[in-house]
Amino acid sequence: MKSVNLMEKKTMTEKTTEKITTEVKEEKRTDENVIYVGHKPPMSYVLAVVTQFNTSGSDEVVIKARGRSISTAVDTAEITRNRFITDAKIKDIKIGTESITNEEGRTSNVSSIEIILTTKKKNKQVEQ
Amino acid sequence: MKSVNLMEKKTMTEKTTEKITTEVKEEKRTDENVIYVGHKPPMSYVLAVVTQFNTSGSDEVVIKARGRSISTAVDTAEITRNRFITDAKIKDIKIGTESITNEEGRTSNVSSIEIILTTKKKNKQVEQ
């Protein structure tokens, strides 16, 4: 039994380290626990969020998106919460507006969203 | 004396009719103050939200959307808040998943958003 467990562990760790290197490179911009959602299918970002929760031991992951990707960000949060990390709660959702300057020097406004997922056990006072 | 009583009666009846109308308004609220966002440009929905605030005297408007329209819903809330009703605050944002059955009988999940805008003067502690 022990040897089997060890083998399993070994393969598990190997897999996870691989994931870390690929995902962190892509997503590590300002903060480690921020996932920026773009134009890929939602499942790519779900994988990134799940990896963030599981490997780096974060109890909080922030999903950020702008413009059309906002709906993908919501999909990402919902898929993560419903299928993969069922004890994750939505701590907060913020929306805002960012000004973007394009190559011609024109500024345009774009909406943004920030979804904060947490697996933290909340204050017991609140749970009552 | 009689004339005074009559006067009082008159004002009483006026008051009661007023109450009735306000009660009816409040009952209707649940449907009337919801703006469903679809595939039109955001400004169409901004107009609907602004109209809702100004004409029907609502101090709360709910913006709802599903799937790809979620980003338009965020645009609608942000444009309303930044350009038209600057004292409107975001009271709450909820996200969720809805199952939709298509013509072939297959069910698919779609993300949804609900943005609650309010012009209510809240606790002054919160207002920065």
Show the domains of chain A with their CATH numbers.
Answer: 32-119 (3.30.110.20)
Q: Specify the pairing of strand B107-118 against strand B89-101.
A: antiparallel
Closest CA to A85 of A60, A105, A111: A60
B71 CB neighbours in chain A (<8 A) are: 67-71, 111
Instruction: Give per-residue pLDDT as tens, A76-115.
Output: 999 999 999 999 999 999 999 999 888 898 999 999 999 9
* Residue, of B83 and B57, whose pLDDT is higher: B83
Q: What is the pLDDT of residues A2-21, one digit of tens each?
A: 444 444 444 444 444 444 44
Q: Structure pTM? A: 0.71
pLDDT > 60? residue A54: yes
Q: Which of B71, B95, B109 sits opposite A93 (nearest CB)?
A: B95
Q: Which two tokens stand for residue A32?
A: 């480690």
Cβ of A111 within 8 Å of Cβ of B70? The answer is no
Choose the closest CB to A70 out of B71, B94, B96. B71
The highest-confidence range among A12-16, B29-33, B63-67, by mean pLDDT, is B63-67
Q: Is B100 left (phi over 0), alpha (psi -120 to 50) or beta?
A: beta
Bridge partner list, B113:
B65, B95
Say what percent of chain A tops pLDDT 70.
70
Chain B residues whose CB is inside 8 A of the A93 CB are 93-95
Torsion of CA A118, A121, A123, A124, to 10 degrees: 150
- In what order do the strands lie in the sheet containing B60-66? B34-36, B60-66, B107-118, B89-101
Judge whether residue B26 has pLDDT over 80: no
Question: Is B95's Cβ below 8 Å from some Cβ in A?
Answer: yes
- Residue B71 contacts A, CB cutoff 8 Å: yes
- Residue B91 confidence (pLDDT): 95
Q: Per-residue confidence at A1, pLDDT binned at 50, 70, 90?
A: very low
Q: Does B116 touch chain A (CB under 8 A)?
A: no
The answer to whether residue A111 neighbours chain B at the CB level (below 8 Å) is yes
Best to test chain A binding among B43, B71, B90, B93 (most A CBs inside 10 Å): B71
For residue B109, the chain A residues in CB contact (below 8 A) are 78, 82
Instruction: State the nearest Cα–Cα gap between B109 and chain A, in angstroms.
Output: 10
Does the complex come out with an ipTM higher than 0.85?
no
Q: Give me the amino acid identity at B74.
A: V
Q: Residue written as tokens 């190997």?
A: A14
Between the alpha carbon of residue A79 and those of residues A62, A71, B48, B73, the distances in Å are: 15, 12, 31, 20
CA distance B48 to chain A (A): 19
Name the residue among B79, B39, B45, B68 with its Cα closest to residue A111. Answer: B79
What pLDDT sits at residue B55? 87
A90 and B90 in contact by Cβ < 8 A?
no
Among the listed residues A70, A125, A16, the one whose alpha carbon sits nearest the alpha carbon of residue B78: A70
- Find which of B80, B91, B92, B95 to mutate to test the A interface (most A CBs within 10 Å of its CB): B95
